[in-house]
Structure 1
Amino acid sequence: MWLRRTALGAMVVPLTLLVFRDAPVRLVAPDAATAKPEAQSGAPRPPIISRASWHADEGLVKDEATYTGVVKVVFVHHTGHTNGYDCADAPKMLRAMEAQHVRGEGWDDIGYNFVVDRCGTIYEGRAGGIGRSVRGAHATGFNAHSVGVAALGTFGPGVPVPKALIEGIAKVGAWKLRRDIDPRGTVRMVSTNDESLYRRGEVVHLHVVSGHRDTYRTACPGKALYARLPAVRAEMARLRAARP
């Protein structure tokens, strides 16, 4: 089957233990061809809480961002946090996650491009500019030409997935995806890392909206959220169709 998946049963592992950057990768400043804002978005930009607003520690960031061109795939993740948080505490949770990703795991910055809380609020994740194709550290072998959107929480079997969360993920995905790509379709990608489910150089056809588990040995984004990806795709398509 062209879309290979790995099941880890009902075990849910916090994603902070499962996010790896492709190696080797050297983060460099963008050139003029790739640094410009994207102009081929399929939906309007949704409201996004900036890094400055959630008080990201920019002193933790180790290097400048890499820009990889148009977004072809949206990878959906969950962060591994408990689900009973107050949405007002999301900025504090993001600051702790940033410190864990950098100080605990040794990465250059927070791994995800965007994080959405259970109230549907969208937060800027990795630095580099929300209107640009910033290479994340969220999907080993497939970080280029993709965007990583993480649901703040843990969505294992039987966990309710808030409608606002689904809508928030769909809003950022509909905006970031290249305009001519159908969120309900599939896209050709090439693995860049043998640590993914696919050998380096292997051609893969992935859902345009995929779960982390579709390319890596993990339960992420959890069975419950993974089962709701068709709803995310449908909402993304609706948002694009509604654009004037």
Structure 2
Amino acid sequence: MRGFLASSVQVAVSTALVLPLSLPSGAAAAPPPADRAPDLPGSTQSLPLAPSARSLAPSAEHRLSAPRVRPFSLVGVVWDDADTELHGTVQVRTRAAGSGRWSGWRKVETRNHDHGADPGTPERRASRGSTAPLWAGASDGVEARVRPDTGEPARLPAGMRLELVHPGEDETAETRALSSPDAETRAHSSPAAGTRALSGPGTDAGPRPHSSPAGPRPLAGPPGALPFPETLVDVLPAAPATLPYVGPRPRIVTRKGWGASESLREKGFVYSTKVKAAFVHHSATGNGYTCKQAPSVLRSIYRYHVVSTGWRDIGYNFAVDKCGNIYEGRAGGVAKAVRGAHTLGFNTDSMGIAVLGSYSRTDPPAAAVTALAKLTAWKLGLFQGNPKGRVTLTSGGSGKYAKGRKVTFNVISGHRDGFHTDCPGARLYGRLGAARTASAGYQGRV
């Protein structure tokens, strides 16, 4: 895996000690790949977290104050050992670039070790521990504090570093086309999120015939869809007419469409035999993004997963934004059984779909739930999966289920079904029943 990339910036810690940015022990800065173009966007700053001035004990509160850093938009914390959990809380506040105003303290989701490659795989062995990333928007200053749980005897993880990710500014004509002023208004137009958009035969969201004419399908986007040029939308042929119960292929924005730097990821691909189940996630990055910013959020998550946590590529197979736009995630072919790093212990024979945002206390937009239904109807249908069915998977070791245990899931499940986690958030998890019904309808099932 690629070495950890560090910045040359220096930061002031709470003790007023100025520490040079350093690489984790044994790591070396990776030179730019030979095939990397000089103008590819994005950067990562890695700032070491240190114990509070009041105590130098490893289990003490760790703080960091960096009032001036290079611009960034996403923040997270990583540490050396992927198998070590951070038993504590992480809070950050950021300074908005331009205005100089500081945000309030925001909580970063720490229960994140359940996202990642399966135990025993090369990708897992090369990984680091990490929190979920948090979208902060354009920022140029940051403060952070990590507090251990009360009464927790274990030390905080070794080698904790604050990661500041800049997604890069894509000034191409393709990105400038991402302008739809009323997109989010229409995405939230349903009074009961996910209800009206998932009902009504004969409507745009209603069941479709499962027969698949030869050749590509029209790529009509969802209400509120961002106007990506057609060259940046997946145009694979539709499923063969001989396959029963395959939903219409939805409009999928390609990796090129959202600006993935292909030189970041590993070149090879890892596949399963088939896709038997879909695990739904929320990205836990917060809801303070606009749909126009969704490609930047994805580029940031991608860089965080690869550069900061050491994964071979972005962990999710697909992502969905609040306006219902669907994005290609991990590379290897949207119609293939690409093995991701999304549901620890159950990445084999499954796919992971992340809805961008946090949905523990916020209702998912109707457009996002509809997009889940359309995507699963098509992708599961390619592998003869029934969205309302059940399937048995063998655990690779998840903490909730021991390695080798056979576990029965809904074909469309939430991440929490495979691990002790809140993901995909209670509000989104509560919409999965409606998504299963709608997905089966798109496949033409009664």
What residue is the counterpart of 1:133 in the other structure?
A: 337
Name the counterpart of 2:428: 225
Does the residue aligned with 1:177 lie in a helix, a strand or coil? helix
1:82 aligns with 2:286: yes
- Counterpart of 1:31 in structure 2 is none
Check conservation: 1:16, 1:79, Cα contact below 8 A: no
**2:389 aligned to 173, 176, 185, which one?**
185
Q: TM-score, normalised by structure 1?
A: 0.84
Give distance in 2, aligned partners of 1:171 and 1:129.
18
Question: Is the 1:191–1:204 contact (alpha carbons within 8 Å) kept by the matching residues of 2?
Answer: yes
Q: Is the 8 A contact 1:135 1:144 kept in 2?
A: yes
Indicate which of 402, 408, 414 corresponds to 1:199: 402
Instruction: Name the SS of the counterpart of 2:443 in structure 1.
Output: helix
Q: Alpha-carbon deviation of 1:199?
A: 0.9
Q: CA deviation at 1:48?
A: 0.3
Q: 2:373 aligns with which of 166, 170, 175?
A: 170
Q: Is the 2:114–2:344 contact (alpha carbons within 8 Å) kept by the matching residues of 1?
A: no
Stretches (4+) displaced over 6 A? none
Aligned to 2:312: 108
Partners in 1 of 2:114 and 2:326 — Cα distance? Answer: 22
Deviations 1:155-197 (Å, cap 9, x if unpaired)?
A: 013x12111000111111111114543211211111122x341
Counterpart of 1:59 in structure 2 is 263
Consecutive unaligned residues in structure 1, runs of 5 or more? 1-10, 28-36
Q: Confirm or deny that 1:22 pairs with 2:118.
A: yes
CA distance, structure 2, for counterparts of residue 102 and residue 77 of structure 1: 19
3-state SS of paired residue (1:111): coil
Residues 169 and 15 of structure 1: is their aligned pair in 2 closer, same or farther, counting only changes over 3 Å? farther
Could you give the per-residue CA deviations for residues 70-125 of structure 1, whole angstroms, max 9, x where no partner exists? 21101000001221321011001100000100111111110000000000000000
CA distance 1:240–1:221, change in 2 (3 Å): same
- SS of the residue 2:354 aligns to: strand
1:12 deviation in Å?
Answer: 8.5
* Structure 1 residue aligned with 2:354: 150
Q: Is the 8 A contact 1:16 1:101 kept in 2?
A: no
Cα distance in 2 between the residues matched to 1:19 and 1:116: 17
1:62 is displaced (CA, Å) by 2.1
The code of the aligned residue for 2:297 comes to M
1:236 aligns with 2:439: yes
Identity %: 42
Q: Secondary structure at the match of 2:252?
A: coil
Per the alignment, in what secondary structure is the counterpart of residue 257 of structure 2? coil
Matching residue of 2:414: 211
Alignment-mate amino acid for residue 149 of structure 1: I
> Partner letter of residue 162 of structure 1?
P
Quick check: 1:49–1:123 contact (8 Å CA) kept in 2?
yes
Answer yes or no: is the 8 Å Cα contact 1:21–1:140 preserved in 2: yes
Amino acid at match of 1:205: T
Deviations for 1:6-28, whole angstroms, at most 9, x for unmatched residues?
A: xxxxx99378664110132247x
2:358 aligns to what SS in structure 1?
coil
Q: Secondary structure at the match of 1:241?
A: coil
Instruction: Tell me the SS of whatever aligns to 2:391.
Output: strand
CA contact (8 A) 1:112 1:137 kept: yes
Q: Secondary structure at the match of 2:258?
A: coil
Change (3 A) 1:100 1:16: farther
Instruction: Specify whether residues 196 and 232 from structure 1 end up closer, same or farther in structure 2 by C-alpha distance, changes over 3 A only.
Output: farther
Distance in 1 separating the partners of 2:111 and 2:439: 24
- The answer to whether the 8 A contact 2:239-2:246 is kept is no
The answer on whether the counterparts of 2:345 and 2:395 sit within 8 Å (CA) in structure 1 is yes
Return the alpha-carbon distance in structure 1 between the equivalents of residues 408 and 113 of structure 2: 26
Partner SS state of residue 168, structure 1: helix
Query: Does the CA-based 8 Å contact 1:78-1:152 persist in structure 2?
Result: yes
Judge conservation of contact 1:183–1:234 (CA < 8 Å) in 2: yes
1:73 aligned onto 2:292 = no
Q: Tell me by how many angstroms 1:215 deviates.
A: 0.6
Post-superposition offset of 1:67: 1.2
SS at match of 1:234: helix
| Deviations 1:124-156, CA, capped at 9 Å, x for gaps | 000111111100100111111111000000001
Deviation of 1:38 after TM superposition, in Å, equals 7.9
Structure 1 or 2: more helix by fraction: 1
